Amino acid sequence: MKFLYVGLGNPGAEYDRTRHNIGFAVLDALATKLGGTWESVKHGHMAVVSHKGRKLHLLKPNTYMNLSGKAVAYHMQQEKMPLGNVVVITDDIALPTGKLRLKEKGSDGGHNGLKSVNASLNTLNYARLRFGVGNDFPKGRQAEFVLSPFPSEEEEAVNNAIERSMNGLLSYCTQGPGLTMTQVNAQK
């Protein structure tokens, strides 16, 4: 059994630790936890790790957020990955900081990375783990907000949510989406 976990974000040091790159942060933590090493691959960086007999392909696209679908579609095809074994991890301004929401399908919710994935895969029927980053920004300042780092007072909530995200991804590949959604979505 193999799975493709895709963290959405933008490449480059200027985007490290920003809200928009929380998908990268989750996969960085998971790769570290499971002893993975990042390698440069077409359209991104990948770490391949194992967990309880499952092979997890962790992908951080380098196509920038608005073209993320290109990397997802390419690596799904390369690995002959079934759609049910793909999870996309993304930031979500509609959720409070640290709140997680795992769904097996859904709309893009106005998120450009998910719009790109939807268009490239030609479906909305893939799992996505939405990571709440809050929405405390003035009207018209959304881009500036998501491209800024979390303030220090949110660090503990973010770190706890990264840990819960990792646990959810590990559960997804061993226990399946149903039980995992119940666990992840019930957490405060």
**Which residues have a catalytic role annotated?**
20
Pairing of strands 44-51, 54-61: antiparallel
* Nearby residues of 33 by Cβ (< 8 Å), 6 or more positions away: 166
Strand-pair partners of 41: 44
- The DSSP call for residue 85 is G
Residue with tokens 């995200």: 165
Spatial distance between the Cα atoms of 161 and 140, rounded to a whole number of angstroms: 27
C-beta neighbour count of 33 within 10 angstroms: 14
Strand-pair partners of 101: 130
Spatial distance between the Cα atoms of 22 and 19, rounded to a whole number of angstroms: 6
